[in-house]
């Protein structure tokens, strides 16, 4: 018997409170299994049949929607069979029982890479995914947003084609149904590619929700139930959208970063809550499509993860593009007007203000997804913040044979970090001594223009009292950037004067997403400015800004 969350009037989601039972406990009709916090107050969820707790499918503190499965109550236990071990014996007879060298929970860029790498190294691998292979990145994150970014860039290029001597007659329009259809085609092709790689590498893929029974056993609830025993386990469940406590988030015109990717109705105006990576990427997507855009950011500047001068440059570029930026602003509530428009109330140091728009996009961020894992049964510990799974540099948790990788660790929420962590974790499972090194992790923001950074940035180096030299070069001194009509932005390199090595780099400008790989290679291998200045860069390319910035660390750039 599956116990589900009933519909609660007045709210879309509720929060799981105190869970009163554990796997193996006997329950009777009417026993309180859990307290759930709803918009109408606390509500007890009770057993609807006699039996024993087979699986717990929710986590304390997690957000749940109506019809979410909470508990699996087994009704057929014979008298006296109430212990957890007896329950497992019964469960095994009712499920497909599997054993595997490595069990991976989650099929995103961490999980599926770990699976392929482990299989190529001779391990038998089982991967469990509750949704679609590819995880957030491939289905509702990196790839879909970049498909929209490209479509919006094409629209922007068409609108500015006359600068290049190309005349386009008539009004340029955006067919959002085709934009979304193209995005889905790309996503589906890549998902099918991962599915092919799973088959090619003889990886057993199971669809369903994985829940720990104990530290060696995981139950999977899907179209078929499984009981899986594994020598080693990797948790790679990724992240979920964070939900701020803002009244009005359930209104029909409110989007999040997932629903926005399937929205075929292009608004005339939109208010974006959050000026971080997701918020600013969508700000330029919508603006390039001709939408009137407001960005409301709680902090005193947008993109707080980059240096101040990078943030300020992007702020100026955004405002020149007619994106309205409101920093130091807190959203108080979202309401619907009499004509169904969105009314956003926010406050800053000057008091309360209103913005009226067709739609609202909430882009606050993401948090580790632990829903349904029953992690307490594995004895795996969370980090000191209680947000994400605690791991060491080998990606091992406090339980020797259980590892965690990717967003669920809440270290760095980047797909390529998850993939690298996957290889580190598998290497350690194979008996190799491997540690994760975060000193040269590239990060890209796909705004217009792009932003990319790697290593230690200037602000952090200064805050830590490091003896540094900064080399800079503007894209307006780069011939290729001028031919592209993209002269805005600059590159800067950070040199540690003690070691003479390049320890960081930031780029805002054309091709930043590609150029950052060269800087990553240089920083990861401890290059000095001399090694860069003595390297020949092809002309005319945007990569020449790297050479010029390195020269600026010494005698000075030649072309500015």
Q: What is the set of active-site residues?
A: 539
Give the up-direction half-sphere exposure of residue 210: CA atoms within 13 A in the CB hemisphere. Answer: 32
Number of H helices, E strands in the chain: 13, 30
List 480's β-bridge partners, or say none: none
Q: Which among 447, 506, 510 is positioned nearest to 316, based on CA atoms?
A: 447
Element (H, E) at 128: strand 125-129
CB-based burial, 280-302: b 16+ in 10 Å, e otherwise = bbbbbbbbbbebbbbbbbbeebb
Name the strands in the sheet holding 32-38, side by side, starting at the edge strand that comes first in the sequence: 41-46, 32-38, 14-19, 63-64
Please answer whether residues 113 and 406 qualify as being in contact, where contact means their C-beta atoms are separated by less than 8 angstroms. Answer: no
Beta strands in 283-350 (DSSP E): 292-296, 324-326, 330-336, 342-348
Residue matched to tokens 């540094």: 468
Residue pair 106/406 in contact by the 8 Å Cβ criterion? yes
Longest C-alpha distance within the chain, in Å? 86
Question: How far, CA to CA in Å, does 424 sit from each of 138, 260, 321, 402, 533?
Answer: 22, 34, 43, 13, 33
Residue 419 zone, left/alpha/beta (φ > 0; ψ -120 to 50; rest)? alpha
For every residue of 390-455, which 3-state class applies, written as one string?
Answer: CCCCCCECCCCCEEECHHHHCCCCCHHHHHHHHHHHHHHHCCCCCCCCCCCCCEEECCCCEEEEEE
**Bridge pairing between strands 269-273 and 292-296:** parallel
The C-alpha angle with vertex 330 and arms to 36 and 507, in degrees rounded to 5, equals 110
Rounded Cα distance, 72 and 213, in Å: 12
CA 560/CA 555 separation, integer angstroms: 12
Handedness of CA 440, 500, 546, 449 (dihedral sign): positive
Tokens at residue 285, please? 């997507």
DSSP state of 5: P
Q: Supply the DSSP symbol for 382.
A: B
């Amino acid at each position: 018997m599956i116990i589900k969350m009933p519909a609660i009037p007045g709210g879309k989601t509720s929060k799981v409170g105190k869970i009163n039972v554990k796997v193996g406990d006997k329950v009777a009709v009417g026993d309180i299994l859990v307290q759930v916090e709803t918009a109408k107050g606390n509500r007890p969820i009770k057993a609807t049949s006699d039996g024993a707790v087979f699986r717990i499918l929710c986590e304390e503190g997690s957000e749940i929607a109506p019809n979410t499965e909470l508990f699996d109550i087994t009704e057929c236990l014979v008298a006296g069979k109430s212990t957890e071990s007896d329950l497992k014996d019964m469960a095994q007879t009712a499920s497909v029982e599997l054993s595997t060298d490595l069990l991976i929970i989650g099929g995103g860029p961490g999980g599926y890479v770990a699976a392929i790498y482990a299989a190529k190294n001779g391990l038998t691998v089982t991967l469990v995914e509750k949704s679609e292979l590819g995880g957030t990145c491939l289905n509702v994150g990196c790839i879909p947003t970049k498909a929209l970014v490209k479509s919006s860039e094409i629209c922007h290029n068409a609108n500015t084609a006359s600068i290049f001597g190309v005349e386009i007659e008539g009004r340029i329009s955006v067919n959002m149904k085709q934009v979304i259809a193209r995005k889905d085609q790309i996503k589906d092709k890549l998902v099918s590619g991962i599915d092919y790689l799973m088959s090619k590498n003889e990886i057993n893929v199971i669809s369903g929700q994985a829940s720990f029974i104990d530290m060696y056993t995981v139950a999977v609830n899907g179209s078929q139930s499984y009981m899986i025993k594994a020598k080693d386990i990797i948790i790679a469940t990724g992240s979920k959208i964070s939900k701020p406590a803002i009244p009005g988030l359930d209104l029909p015109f409110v989007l999040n970063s997932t629903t926005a990717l399937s929205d075929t109705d292009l608004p005339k105006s939109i208010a974006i809550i959050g000026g971080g990576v997701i918020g600013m990427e969508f700000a330029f997507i919508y603006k390039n499509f001709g939408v009137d855009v407001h960005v409301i950011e709680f902090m005193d500047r947008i993109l707080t993860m980059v240096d101040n001068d990078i943030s300020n440059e992007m702020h100026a570029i955004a405002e020149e593009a007619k994106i309205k930026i409101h920093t130091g602003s807190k959203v108080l509530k979202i309401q619907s007007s009499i004509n169904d428009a969105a009314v956003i109330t926010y406050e800053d140091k000057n008091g309360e203000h209103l913005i009226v728009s067709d739609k609202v996009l909430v882009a606050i961020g993401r948090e580790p997804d632990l829903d349904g894992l029953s992690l307490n049964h594995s004895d795996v510990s969370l980090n000191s913040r209680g947000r994400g799974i605690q791991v060491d540099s080998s990606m091992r948790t406090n339980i020797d044979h259980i590892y965690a990788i990717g967003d669920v660790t809440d270290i760095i929420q980047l797909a390529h970090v998850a993939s690298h962590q996957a290889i580190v974790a598998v290497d350690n499972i194979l008996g190799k001594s491997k540690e994760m090194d975060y000193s040269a992790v590239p990060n890209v923001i796909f705004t217009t223009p792009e932003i990319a950074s790697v290593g230690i940035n200037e602000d952090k180096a200064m805050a830590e009292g490091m003896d540094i030299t900064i080399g800079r070069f503007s894209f307006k001194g780069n011939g290729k950037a001028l031919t592209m009509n993209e002269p805005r932005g600059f590159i800067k390199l950070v040199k540690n004067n003690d070691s003479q090595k390049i320890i960081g780099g930031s780029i805002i400008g054309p091709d930043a997403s590609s150029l950052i790989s060269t800087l990553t290679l240089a920083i990861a291998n401890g290059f000095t400015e001399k090694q860069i200045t003595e390297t020949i860069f092809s002309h005319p390319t945007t990569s020449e800004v790297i050479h010029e910035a390195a020269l600026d660390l010494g005698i000075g750039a030649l072309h500015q």
